[in-house]
Structures are given as structure tokens and as C-alpha cells.
Amino acid sequence: METIAAVATAGGRSAIGIVRLSGDNAVELASDLFKPLNGKDMKNAQPGMLVYGNLYDSQNRPIDMCLCTISKAPHSYTGEDTAEFQCHGSPMVLSQLLSSLFELGARQAEAGEFTKRAFLNGKMDLTGAEAVIDLIDAETPAAMRNARGQLGGAMLRRIEEIYSRLTDIVSHFQAEVDFPDDDIDPFEIEEYTGELRELESSLNRLYGTYSRGRFIRDGVPCAILGKPNVGKSSLLNALAGYDRVIVTDIAGTTRDTVEEKCIVGGVALRLVDTAGIHETNDAVERLGVERSRKAAEQAELLLVVTDSSAPLTEEDRSVLSMARSLNVPMVHIRNKADLPQVPCEEDGISVSSKTGQGLSELEKWISDNFSIKEEPEGQVLTNLRQAEKVLLAKNALSEAIKALSSDITPDVVLTLVEEAMDALSEITGASIHEDIVDRIFHRFCVGK
């Protein structure tokens, strides 16, 4: 394979900076540019051992003193020969090293190309590869633990178990199709139906984890709604922990939606501050109000803010009822709890975005309603691609069960069960189209 190279650590100055190489010439290139202090050649270095030495550019000028390690195919991350330089985290050193490697024939790795090669070389399955990027992107402990579990094969094992039980069923049915004269024993039909039902419900349970799992990775889209001046922007700032949005006592200050990712009660929220929803003749403000409505429709959690120091108005009530009509979880937030209070017939959580009072109650509500109850150790689907395939497989099994009970020929059952198996093998990547693989790995960072 062509040798690829990339800086694997984040840009900017740091203590350590890593350059990775993978491909047929990886060890050769390492030996060209890196001379161990022990006088040996890197080609003879022990795989997996860190070696200290001098690093040179392609013109043989010293550029750093650093560590280098090589791995030999297939015992490496990518399954190919690899080399890794642990340099000082100097952007200059790293770029000189990289351009020297390019001069010697390596090329820049694309985003995710190391992991893509690992997948293509059978070092990991697709659920593991997708877990790599999820782990890097994880923003909450739950997201991290789930990704770590899937990196360790938790999803792979679950899918493979179902797949292998389906294989047994298929081989039985294949025999029925091949010898159509032998009637299937009714007792056997019952057995197959039972087994298929079990697998169907196992897939159904797995699919069910996605309803919350999708929030683990991407955060819960959450719109902050309310009429102008009730403190929506102040609430977002209080939850974000810094002044993200402009707050004034002039109604209509927030004219566009502003999104900010925050961790609230251990749950990642994609908070959207909106322009106040109310009737207005100002054209720009009206566009803002339109966008607020859109944000509300796309949200999975609504925070409706009212001012608890003043009586509820018609506008408050219409925002509350609009929010209720959207049929997603909603919290009524009675803001400005630090001011003298006016009684209110609508239940809600009293909060002061100014002093922070009551925010912990809101955090608790969000944690109770949105955190993943069971410890997610890779058992939760967080990925739309995987979830869609699980649903496809489940539906195919439901059809197969129906077919079995309605005297349909065994070849139909066989086709349906095979359809389920195809969907499952796309989850793990045992069989999958090249363009889908490309799309998956483009989400990665360069160097991973």
C-alpha cells in the first residue's frame, strides 16, 4: 500500500507532537530520517519499542531529538507497516518532518485514512471504527463510556450473536428449499418461529436504545422559547456559564437564533436561544420570530421561559400552548425568581438566571428525563446509520415470522431472513458498499 503520513496531534504548540506513517515504505522512511542514539538502524528496531535518537530532514539537517517506534504488518493499528515519531510539539518540527516524508514519497493521509485502512485490513469492524470517532468527539462521560464499549466490540458482539443464530435458521431452510418434497415438521416450524421472535425482539430492544442514544452523541436539540424580555438569553448564558448572547432590557435584542452546546445535568444540550415570539411589524424581527418557530419544531426539548415577577400575559399563554402542541418534553421556566413574585396558575420551575437560584432543579429535571439510565457500555445505539439497519433487519424478521405462520413457501422465509442478515452485515461492515465506507471515514480527523 501507498505510504501515508499525517500529524496526529492537534495543531499549535504543545509538549509532544506526533507524526504517523503507514504503508509499505513506513519503516524505510523512518530509517532514512531517524538515527537511533544506540547506533542501530530503525529497520532492525524491535517493533513496539520506543527508540530515542536524532531526527533529520530530507537534506540530512537535524531538526529534533525525539522518540520513534515502528510496527510490522499485520501487528499494527492499520494492519500495515507503521512508524510513529513522538517529537517535541513544535509546529515547525512537525511540518519539516512531514514535508521531508512527502519528498521521500509518502503522501498526506486523508481524514480517517489510518482507521479506514484498519477496517479494510480486518483490524476492526465498522462499529469499532465509528466508535473511534465517537470517542474522540465525546462531550459527556456517558458518550465516552458508550464509545469505549463499542470500541471494545460491544455492538459487534451483539450483532454477531444475532447474525450467527440467523445463519443456523438459514441453513435449515436451505435444506427445505433444496428438498421440497419433504414437508416441514410442524414442530420445527414452531421452533423456528420462536427463535425468530426472540431475535426480532432482541433487535427491537436494540433499536429502542436509539431514541435516547442519538442524544448521547449529538446532544438534545433544545429550544428556549418565550416572549421578549423574559430572560431567554440570560438563561442560555447562565447554562453556558459565560456571556454567549447579548442581554439587554430592550425587547427584541435577540433577532436571530443562536445555538450553543452545553452540558446540563450531565446531558449534552444543543441549546437554541430564540428571538422572542410575539406579533411584530419589524421585518427583521418577524424573520427572527419565524426562525424561533422553526427551532421549536426541530427541538426535542422545549424550555418555555416566563417572567415570574409579572402576571402571565396572553403572549405567554400562547407560547405555552404552542409548545405543548409540539408533543415533545417541555419545561416551564419561571425566570426572575430573585424579584418579588406574582402567583401563577401554571406549574413550573422557579429559576433566576441572574443569581443562579433554581438552576440545579432544572439540571435535575433534565438529568432525570434525558440521561441514559443503564450504564451505557456500548450497548446503546448512537448512530443513525446503524439504527436504520437494525430497523431494516427487525422488519425483515417480522415479515419472515408472518410468512412462516401463513403457509408461504420456505424460499420466501429464506429470502427475508437473508435480507435481515444483509442489513446486519452492513452494520459491522462485513459487507458494505465502498461509497458508504468513504462517507463514514470522512467524518474523521486527519491523522486518525
Ligand X SMILES: Nc1nc2c(ncn2[C@@H]2O[C@H](COP(=O)(O)OP(=O)(O)O)[C@@H](O)[C@H]2O)c(=O)[nH]1
Choose the one of Mg ion, ligand X, none that binds residue 129, judging by a C-beta under 5 to 8 angstroms depending on kind. Answer: none
Handedness of CA 325, 326, 329, 332 (dihedral sign): negative
- If DSSP codes are grouped into helix, strand and coil, which group holds residue 205? helix
Please, which residue, 111 or 251, has the CB nearer to ligand X? Answer: 251
Q: How many residues bind Mg ion (CB under 5 A)?
A: 3
Site for ligand X (CB under 6 A): which residue of 54, 202, 204, 253?
253
350 contacts ligand X (rule: CB under 6 A): no
Residue 223 CB, shortest distance to Mg ion, in Å, is 13
353 contacts Mg ion (rule: CB under 5 A): no
Residue 243 CB, shortest distance to ligand X, in Å, is 10
How many helices and strands, by DSSP H and E, does the chain display?
A: 15, 13
308 contacts ligand X (rule: CB under 6 A): no
Segment interacting with ligand X, rule: CB under 6 A, options 63-71, 111-119, 349-357, 393-401: 349-357
Segment interacting with Mg ion, rule: CB under 5 A, options 53-61, 133-141, 250-258, 345-353: 250-258
Q: How many residues bind ligand X (CB under 6 A)?
A: 21
Residue 328 CB, shortest distance to Mg ion, in Å, is 22
Cell numbers at 90, concatenated: 513544535
288 contacts ligand X (rule: CB under 6 A): no
Burial category of 59 from C-beta neighbours within 10 Å (exposed 0-12, middle 13-18, buried 19 and up): exposed
Please, which residue, 254 or 386, has the CB nearer to Mg ion? Answer: 254
Report the distance separating Cα 219 and Cα 247, nearest Å. Answer: 25
The DSSP bridge pattern shows strands 258-264 and 220-225 to be unpaired
Report the distance separating Cα 332 and Cα 335, nearest Å. Answer: 9
Closest-CA residue to 270 (of 291, 305, 298)? 298
Residue 232 CB, shortest distance to ligand X, in Å, is 3
Radius of gyration from C-alpha coordinates of the chain: 29
Report the distance separating Cα 66 and Cα 50, nearest Å. Answer: 10
Using CB under 6 A, list all residues that contact ligand X.
226, 228-234, 247-249, 253-254, 276, 335-336, 338-339, 352-354
Q: Name the residues that contact Mg ion, by CB under 5 A.
A: 232-233, 254
